Chains A and B, each alone.
Chain A
Amino acid sequence: MALDASFVGRRYPAAAGYQVGREKIREFAEAIGDDNALYRDPDAARAAGYADLIAPPTFAMILFLRAQEELINDPKLGLDYRRMVHGSQSFTYHRPITAGDELSVTLHVDGIRTMGGNDMLTVRCEVTDSAGDPVTTARAMLVVRGPDQ
């Protein structure tokens, strides 16, 4: 089933903000096996010039997953989650995510196209802090495989 192309241009602001906690950063660093002190030791982070622990580069995916939930579960979009695979991912860092941040996130649907029987959905996530300043821009291309031949 083809995706509804009228979704291009839609925005999905997350209803609730996300508070970045030290323990969540440590848990995430542990899960990716990264022992960098700036993810674990607030004194080391402060000595390096940061206000508190900073988060690993792919930490923003936590916010991305939350933000995309409403979109991919919208029955009108026509996305079969079971056939969806992650095609590509990128992040642009305006500054590191830091423990204590109150982040907001808005998901944008940037493109929908069909190629070789598969649907490609391009989404962008803008993460901002409580001052409204940009923190991370994350882009993903999601591929929904067409029916098996």
Chain B
Amino acid sequence: MSQHRCAEVGAVAEGDELAPLQVRLTRADLVRYAGASGDFNPIHWSDRAARAAGLPEVIAHGMLTMALATRLVTTWIGDPGALMDCAVRFTRPVVVPDDTDGALIELSGKVTKRRDDGTLVVAITARAAGQTVLGNATATIAPSPPHKDISG
């Protein structure tokens, strides 16, 4: 993990790229995420339900793709507590075939803004099967994790 970390947030400049992340999702991963999140919508585990909803076959949870997008950012900053906000639009479904290869999600990110106080804005790109699956995916990072004194 630490090898992906940005050396010093203070040294980050606009245009800097985050270490890319590739994640392969199989049907088993979708079932695991369904259980962990409580999202049991059958379009994420039943081809029959997916087709009835007008999809070719089972698709990944949009929130699993968003979790991977935020993972790209929090791995880069090291401390997830520095995340101030994140937002995505779900523009295309991630179809996950019922085989051992599943779907490959390719994530990348770039620093688009560095404010005077050191706050960073990152734009995230997520692709599956060669097409973007998220739109306007952004995260804002505080100069230092601002929530450290919560134990009292």
Residues of A within 8 A of B (CB): 24, 27-28, 30-39, 48-51, 54, 56-58, 61-62, 65-66, 82-83, 85-93, 95-96, 98, 145, 148
Contacts and interface: CB of A to CB of B under 8 A. Distances in A.
B129 interface: no
Contacts of A27: 35-36
A111 to B, nearest CB: 16
Contacts of B149: 49
Interface residues of B, number: 42
Contacts of B11: none
B16 interface: no
A30 B33 CA distance: 9
Contacts of B148: 48-50
Secondary structure class of chain A's binding surface, majority of residues: mixed
Contact of A36 (B36, B74, B86, B136): B74
Contact of A66 (B38, B68, B74): B38
B39 to A, nearest CB: 6
B63 A36 contact: no
Nearest to B71: A34
A61 B75 CA distance: 20
Given A32-B67, A56-B67, A87-B90, 11 more contacts: A28-B37, A32-B36, A36-B1, A38-B79, A38-B80, A48-B145, A50-B147, A54-B80, A82-B52, A91-B85, A98-B150
B80 A50 contact: no
